[in-house]
Amino acid sequence: MSSGSSKISTYKKTSIFERNLNRIKGTEISQAAFSFLFGEIVRYTQKRVQGIYELEKRLNIQGYRVGQKLLELIRILQFIFSNVWKALFNKQADALEKSKENEDEYMIVDNEPMVNKYISVPKEMAYFDCAAFIAGIVEAIMDGSQFPSKVTAHSVPTQGFPNRTVILIKINESVLEREKYLK
């Protein structure tokens, strides 16, 4: 990442993209733990406001933040990576990665895109990739979820997977600004 001072780069940083996406999906914690935490948030907030109106407004802002997170970038990418791929192709995509070079790029990798399966591309069209179609699907979902992006497909064959395709998602600048603001 570009903004790292020399100090930061000494940390062994495991990005959240390297962790299991569905780690806490469906897991639970005790209701008491939540209630205690929430109660404390209310108490904390109450100390800093005058009147109920302001208290409610502050809690509203806190809740809003949770709501926004539920619609977060990574979550929508996850959603495409697993749910959309499963619905369309009956399998998960093979990898979801963040570009190392560019802050605004994410990649969904499919080792064997269904659309490429029965189509052989002539040599002179080596750069053509039918997965452009899938890229279009992804782009529509990103746009529709308020994460406008430019999505393109690129064949990146490997030894084992001649049809391996990378769906490159380049996120609109406005989204990154928004995400920054939300942090």
Residues lying near other proteins in the complex (CB under 8 A)? 1, 3-5, 7-8, 11-16, 23-25, 27-34, 36-41, 43-44, 62-63, 65-66, 69-70, 74, 183
CA 10, 15, 18, 20 torsion: positive or negative?
A: positive
Closest CA to 106 of 132, 131, 142: 142
Of the pair 65, 91, the CB lying nearest other proteins is at 65
Within 8 A by CB and 6+ apart from 26, the residues are none
Distance CA(70)–CA(78), nearest Å, equals 12
Distance CA(128)–CA(109), nearest Å, equals 17
CA count, 13 A, side-chain hemisphere, 112 = 7
CA-based Rg of the chain, rounded to a whole angstrom? 21
Of the pair 43, 123, the CB lying nearest other proteins is at 43
Closest distance to other proteins from the beta carbon of 157 (Å) = 32
Of the pair 50, 158, the CB lying nearest other proteins is at 50
Of the pair 83, 128, the CB lying nearest other proteins is at 83
Closest distance to other proteins from the beta carbon of 153 (Å) = 28
Of the pair 6, 159, the CB lying nearest other proteins is at 6
Closest distance to other proteins from the beta carbon of 124 (Å) = 45
Q: Please give the structure tokens belonging to residue 176.
A: 């990154």
Closest distance to other proteins from the beta carbon of 30 (Å) = 5
Q: Please give the structure tokens belonging to residue 179.
A: 């995400």
Closest distance to other proteins from the beta carbon of 74 (Å) = 7
